[in-house]
Amino acid sequence: MTTLEESITPAPTDPEQTIAFQGQPGAYSHMACRQAFPELFPLPCHSFEDAFAAVREGQARYAMIPVDNTVAGRVADVHHLLPKGGLHIVGEHFVRVNHQLLGVPGASLETVQVVESHVHAIGQCRNFLRRHGYRAHVVADTAGAAADIARAGDPTRAAIASRLAAEIYGLVILKSDIEDAEHNTTRFLVLSRDPRYPDPHSGPVITTFTFRVRNRPAALYKALGGFATNGVNMVKLESYVDGAFTQAEFYADIMGHPQHENVRLAMEELRFFSHSVEILGVYPADRFRERVG
Backbone phi, psi, residue 205, to 5°: -130, 145
Q: Which of 18, 142, 186, 210 is catalytic?
A: 186
Q: Compute CA distances 60 → 156, 198, 255, whole Å.
A: 39, 22, 29
Max Cα–Cα distance, the chain, nearest Å:
66
Give the integer Cα–Cα distance in Å for 230 and 261: 9
Catalytic site includes residue 188: yes
Catalytic residue chosen out of the listed positions 188, 209, 211, 250: 188
Give 133's contacts (C-beta < 8 A, 6+ positions apart): none
Pairwise CA distance, residues 166 & 160, whole Å: 10
Answer yes or no: 227 catalytic.
no
Catalytic residues: 186, 188
